Copies of this chain bind each other. A is one copy, B any other.
Amino acid sequence: MSRYHVKDVALAAEGSARIEWAQRRMPVLRAVRERFAAERPLAGVRLAACLPVTAETGVLAQTLQAGGADVLLCGAVPGSTRDEVAAALVVECGIPVFAIDGEDEDTRHAHLEAACDHRPHLVLDDGAEVIAQLHSARREQLGGVIAGCEQSATGVLRLRALERDGKLAFPIVAVGETATKRLFADRHGVGQATVDAIARASGTLVAGATWVVAGYGPCGRGIAGRARALGARVIIIEVDPLRAVEAALEGHRVLPLSEAVIEADVIVTATGSRHVLAAHHLDLLRDGVVLANAGHSNVEIEVPALRVRAGDGGLQRVRPGVDEIALGDGRSAFLLADGRPVNFAADSQPTLVLDMALACHALAAEYAVRNAAVLERSVFAVPAEIDREIARVELGALGIEIDEQTAAQRRYVASWGLEA
């Protein structure tokens, strides 16, 4: 494969405008970039980032470059690549980008290979795909890797499994589990973007519709809360009893999926698991139901089963990103975004949460390099101080001032006696 692989370098100007627009709304990453330019903490570091190639990721790539890193970018999450941003990064920044919107599986795989060929010291991953590749087909490179940062909750789960099996070959910063990420990116960002994308794609009024949300982690909670706030009747599907009680105490109905689908106008999956909406549910669906995934990859909805059911007619594209599936007895279902994360649909990710999530990547990368000598081969949390630092900059951007504890209060809280 050549030095880069994007759709059309002629799109660079348009991409630059988008990156420029994004950057104006990303105060945290802007602050990091200024400091990185001065301190160059990543000088000499080869870095492969496998992330959705959006304008915001473009700002991250420039930031890492400003910090001295030799950055390569390949696309993650099918359907998330903005070709014009990819072009801009190649043309304007000289960053090798391997990502094309709608690429087929072979091309996708070739792009992952290109990321490995970069022989990275650091890997920023979203779904642990480069990291998994290094641990399987590229084991000879493992020694050269200082650390990885993993963004998705599902990716972190898998890397923990790898650690448990004693096979993890380098330290992993679980960017996907920071407070910043869970609270802001997952709950607020994914929540807003998912509900917005579904309402738009289907032209549906959220108010009055029954939304079934499978999974009550941070994403599911964000989606459920927003849908309800917009007037939906929400039903939660969970397999974990604690999360199920939590959902119930927050006022949601909690049902087994096979009971819930009967009432559903919209079904959204956000579980990190596979075949949550499966072949055996198809007979229970209401006519006109909208099916969307806001979770992991494209496996939460059993799309192959939908194709089988649709038969010779196949899936019929009725609007951009919307396929109709004839269920065989007059009923239809509508599948959004091919069952891929619907929140990555163009323009629906709010810049502000991406700012915090991506700044966390940059700071975690710096942390890993600075502490390379002492980090263990385990999956560990982003240091709390990084979260707090991001929060501090973000507060400033929101124009919010807060109090500080007095010295007396600090002493009081840290004491253990009865001296109060």
Say yes or no: is A143 at the interface (Cβ < 8 Å to chain B).
no
Q: How far is the CA of A398 from the CA of B233 in the complex (A)?
A: 11
Please give the count of copies of this chain that the complex contains. 4
8 Å CB contact of A273 from B288, B350, B405: B405
A window 220-245: CB within 8 A of B: 226, 228-234, 237-242, 244-245
Contact B205 A245 (CB under 8 A): no
Is A97 engaged at the interface, CB distance under 8 Å to the other chain? no
Give the CA-CA distance A122 to B294 in the complex, in Å. Answer: 47
Interface pair B420/A297, CB less than 8 Å apart: yes
> Which one of B232, B241, B273, B353 lies within 8 Å of A409 (CB-CB)?
B273
The complex places the Cα of A412 from the Cα of B297 at a distance, in Å, of: 13
Q: What does the 1/0 interface line of A2-16 toward B look like (CB < 8 Å)?
A: 000000000000000
Partner of A250, one of B128, B207, B318: B207
Contact, CB under 8 Å: A188 / B245: no
Say whether B183 contacts A255, CB under 8 Å.
no
Contacts of A129 in B (CB 8 A): 418
**Chain A positions 253 through 286: 1 when the CB is less than 8 Å from some CB of chain B, otherwise 0:** 1111100000100000000111110000000001
Range for the number of chain A residues in contact with chain B: 35 or more
- The CA-CA distance from A403 to B226 in the complex, in Å, is 24
Smallest CB separation, A243 vs chain B (Å):
8
Report B-chain residues with C-beta under 8 Å of the C-beta of A327: none
Cβ of A162 within 8 Å of any chain B Cβ, yes or no, is yes
Would you call B350 and A204 a contact (CB within 8 A)? yes
A388, CB-defined interface residue at 8 Å? yes
Known: A288-B24, A415-B158. A391 touches B274 (CB 8 A): no
What is the minimal beta-carbon distance from A111 to any residue of chain B, in angstroms? 14
Q: Are A251 and B192 in contact (CB under 8 A)?
A: no
* A110 interface contact, C-beta 8 A: no
- Asked whether B128 lies within 8 Å of A416 as measured between CB atoms, the reply is yes
Inter-subunit contact B402/A256 (CB<8 Å): yes
Stretch at the interface among A44-52, A71-79, A195-203: A195-203
A351 at the binding interface (Cβ < 8 Å): yes
Q: A251 to B205, alpha carbons, bound, how many Å?
A: 11
Instruction: Tell whether, in the assembled complex, residue B205 and residue A350 are in contact, meaning their CB atoms are under 8 Å apart.
Output: yes
Chain B min CB distance to A347 (Å): 6
* Contacts A/B (CB < 8 Å), 25 sampled: A17-B318, A21-B318, A21-B319, A129-B418, A135-B416, A167-B416, A180-B242, A183-B249, A192-B207, A203-B350, A205-B249, A207-B350, A208-B248, A208-B398, A229-B230, A239-B402, A239-B403, A239-B405, A248-B398, A254-B402, A273-B412, A273-B413, A274-B408, A299-B412, A299-B420
